[in-house]
Amino acid sequence: MRFLTIFRRIIAFLQFTMPCWFYDKKELSNTPSARDGISADVESWYRKEGAKHIIDAGNKLGLYLFISVLFVLFFTSEFGLMFY
């Protein structure tokens, strides 16, 4: 039950900080990866592999899957780019 409360707070925070989840083609073509010459397919592969590594590390550390999934969400979202 406590995890559900934490999850709802995180979703509320993300909705407050990122009210628009839709991007047009101009915004998607101007990502940092695209500016560095990385194709969308390669970037997608990097994100998938990164997510797999996060889940594996979480399992080895004995974390709840919920926590690992939150890290994956943070890693794969544009929200995470604000902290680089």
Domain hosting residue 35, numbered range: 22-83
In a domain, 42, yes or no: yes
d(CA 9, CA 12): 5
Rg of the chain on CA atoms, in Å: 15
pTM of the model: 0.60
d(CA 3, CA 63): 13
Q: What is the pLDDT of residues 14-56, one digit of tens each?
A: 666 555 656 677 777 777 788 888 888 888 888 889 999 999 9
In a domain, 12, yes or no: no
In a domain, 30, yes or no: yes
In a domain, 70, yes or no: yes
Strand, coil or helix: 32 = helix
